Amino acid sequence: MNIALLAAIVAGVFLAMKMVLRYQDPDPKACIQDAGLAFLSGLAGIYAYQHYLDKPTTPKVASVFTERPTF
């Protein structure tokens, strides 16, 4: 699925929930700003998830002398 479309869906759901929860006095400008922030956050989170999920994280093993000493 397209990253921007998924982030837009997340922002749309966020905006709808914010308008429902603040039904007494919704400030449209503040709600749109918060939805834009949710869109950018969703975009960054989905991008990071898709691009860094498959990267293997193998710990670096130090080279250690484990044989019997020759002296």
Whether pLDDT at 71 is above 80: no
Our count of domains for the chain comes to 1
Residue 19 lies in a domain: yes
The confidence band for 26, taking pLDDT boundaries of 50, 70 and 90, is low
- Domain assignment present for residue 61? The answer is no
In a domain, 31, yes or no: yes
Q: Is residue 38 part of a domain?
A: yes
| HSE of 66, CA atoms in CB hemisphere, 13 A | 3
Question: Is 63 part of any domain?
Answer: no
**Is residue 69 situated within a structural domain?**
no
| Domain-embedded: residue 66 | no
Q: What residues make up the domain containing 22?
A: 3-52
Q: The whole model's pTM is what? A: 0.61
